[in-house]
Amino acid sequence: MTDTRPVIFSVSGTSNLGANVLSNGTQTYSGAVTLSANATLTSSNDNFTFSDAIDSDSSTRNLTLNPGSGTIAVSGAIGGGEALGTLTITQSGGTTFGGRVTAATVTLTDTADDADISFNAGITIDTLNTASQGYDINLYGATNTVTNAVTFSNTGTLKINNGNTLITNFNGGVTATVPSSITTQGTIRDQSGTGAITLGDSNTGITLVGNSTVGGTSTGNITLGAVTGSSHTLNLGVNGTSNTISVGGIVSLDTLNISTNSTATFTAAVGSGSTLTNLNIKSGSTFNENVTSTNITINSSITGTFKKAITATEIILDGGTIVLSEDNSVTIAGTINGNNTTEGTIQVTGATKTFSGIVGGSKVLTLVDIDDIAVFSANVSATTANLAATTTFAGDTTLTLSLIHI
């Protein structure tokens, strides 16, 4: 039987698609495309090019694109005039959406391994379906919004936002643990209910290429893999929203802000690759491994629990409490002061903690409470001290107190 499919299919003006199109060559649509029926476009491994918008007519329509190993390039918006029902990429050699995509459902069935499916101008969709295939996904451009919970199953890379002011809303929550890497900046959040945000795990880390915020008004859990952030800032959670936060360590970062009203646990070291500049603790936080940051601040009425060594230049207790727990022989390096005079508490509940810097030198602390073995290598000034018999003051250390209990 003779194959009667056109070698090249080209429409120079506007087009009304009311049927499927099959071609043995490229498909080019130079003008706006209106779908008057559900349509599937197929080629024998040749490119699709759309130079203008694609819309449904007055009824919701579905569009399936399958150029095989060919690429898909859409310059205009999809569904900007009339939203699509389902937009499906069956197979491609790479897909670029240059305009905003608006649809009830977007399904990414397959694309060549390591090839990009890029949404460069944002998305507004209810449901995003991905598959366990090796393609990459880029969510770029203006605000991205996905209404329902989404799981990124693709095993290629995942990139979310390409600007510090950009926002991606996963309003039913998001899970991304199988992509080979995750790159982000700007804000990733859930703005409703209790949807959880899970980005990365022990095998997949997160790389920040700009300042980033993870969290919104949702009270769901926030779980992150190890974060590499270079000279950028990471805001964990949003002040006023209660989240349970777990982070698989911080490799590098300039500033880490832990929001109010949450609880945070860091299961691996903070500053393992390079020293943070600022660690600002605004809600109860537990650090299971070593922490390295030039400045550490613990806010009023907040407890920061450190189980291993701390390497800092200055630790400021702005009315907060630093708890040094777990039995291990570690050094707490850096001066420790209140933000104002008679602010802040040190509590030692695990042995053996060696303080190498001055405590309360510029701003006297409220309380030094030692319940286990502690060694002070420099001067200590506090309003009150509760000292265990195992407390040691080395060399010419001066102890300045208003009240002492031994």
- What is the distance between the alpha carbons of residues 224 and 18, in angstroms, rounded to a whole number? 46
Query: Does the pLDDT at position 1 exceed 60?
Result: no
pLDDT at site 58:
94
What residues contact 147, with CB distance under 8 A and at least 6 apart? 125, 126, 127, 171, 172
- What is the distance between the alpha carbons of residues 204 and 178, in angstroms, rounded to a whole number? 7
Q: Give residue limits of the domains in the chain.
A: 1-142
- CB atoms under 10 Å from CB of 406, counted, come to 9
pLDDT at site 245:
98
Q: How confident is the model at residue 6 (pLDDT cuts 50, 70, 90)?
A: low
Q: 120-169: per-residue pLDDT in tens? A: 999 999 999 999 999 999 999 989 999 999 999 999 999 999 999 999 99
**Using a CB cutoff of 8 Å and minimum separation of 24, what contacts does 357-363 make?**
357/332, 357/333, 359/335, 360/336, 360/400, 361/335, 361/337, 362/335, 362/337, 363/337, 363/338, 363/339
Distances (CA, A) of 212 to 169, 198, 224, 398: 14, 15, 13, 44
The model's pTM is: 0.94
Kindly state the DSSP code that residue 194 receives in the 8-state scheme.
Answer: T
Query: Does the pLDDT at position 183 exceed 50?
Result: yes
Q: 324-365: per-residue pLDDT in tens? A: 999 999 999 999 999 998 899 999 999 999 999 999 999 999
Q: Six-digit token pair at 80?
A: 């900007």
Q: Six-digit token pair at 98?
A: 């240059």
Q: 289-307: per-residue pLDDT in tens? A: 999 999 999 999 999 999 9
**Closest to 247 measured CA to CA, from 210, 294, 281, 296:** 281
Query: Does the pLDDT at position 5 exceed 80?
Result: no
- CB atoms under 10 Å from CB of 114, counted, come to 12
- What is the distance between the alpha carbons of residues 185 and 318, in angstroms, rounded to a whole number? 29
Task: Look at the alpha carbons of 335, 341, 346, 352 in this order and tell me if their dihedral is positive or negative.
Answer: positive
Query: Does the pLDDT at position 240 exceed 80?
Result: yes
Half-sphere exposure of 396 (CA within 13 A, CB side): 0
Q: 102-113: per-residue pLDDT in tens? A: 999 999 999 999
Q: 258-290: per-residue pLDDT in tens? A: 999 999 999 999 999 999 999 999 999 999 999
pLDDT at site 97:
98
Query: Does the pLDDT at position 70 exceed 90?
Result: yes
What residues contact 4, with CB distance under 8 A and at least 6 apart? none
Q: 206-233: per-residue pLDDT in tens? A: 999 999 999 999 999 999 999 999 999 9
- What is the distance between the alpha carbons of residues 222 and 176, in angstroms, rounded to a whole number? 12
- What is the distance between the alpha carbons of residues 356 and 369, in angstroms, rounded to a whole number? 17
How confident is the prediction for the chain on average, in pLDDT? 95
Q: 16: which strand partners?
A: 34
- What is the distance between the alpha carbons of residues 282 and 241, in angstroms, rounded to a whole number? 12
Q: 71-118: per-residue pLDDT in tens? A: 999 999 999 999 999 999 999 999 999 999 999 999 999 999 999 999
- CB atoms under 10 Å from CB of 362, counted, come to 12
Q: What are the DSSP E strand ranges found in 222-373?
A: 222-224, 227-228, 233-236, 244-247, 250-252, 255-258, 263-266, 276-281, 285-287, 291-298, 303-306, 310-317, 321-324, 330-338, 345-348, 353-355, 365-370
Half-sphere exposure of 60 (CA within 13 A, CB side): 9
Query: Among 31-45, 151-165, 210-224, 386-400, where is mean pLDDT lowest?
Result: 386-400
- What is the distance between the alpha carbons of residues 376 and 399, in angstroms, rounded to a whole number? 10
pLDDT at site 7:
64
Could you tell me what percent of the chain has a pLDDT over 70? Answer: 98
Query: Does the pLDDT at position 397 exceed 50?
Result: yes
Query: Does the pLDDT at position 4 exceed 60?
Result: no
Could you tell me what percent of the chain has a pLDDT over 90? Answer: 93
Instruction: Provide mean pLDDT across the span 182-195.
Output: 94
Say whether the peptide bond before residue 352 is cis (omega within 30 degrees of 0).
yes
pLDDT at site 379:
96
Q: 150-162: per-residue pLDDT in tens? A: 999 999 999 999 9
- What is the distance between the alpha carbons of residues 233 and 211, in angstroms, rounded to a whole number? 5
- What is the distance between the alpha carbons of residues 22 and 43, in angstroms, rounded to a whole number? 6
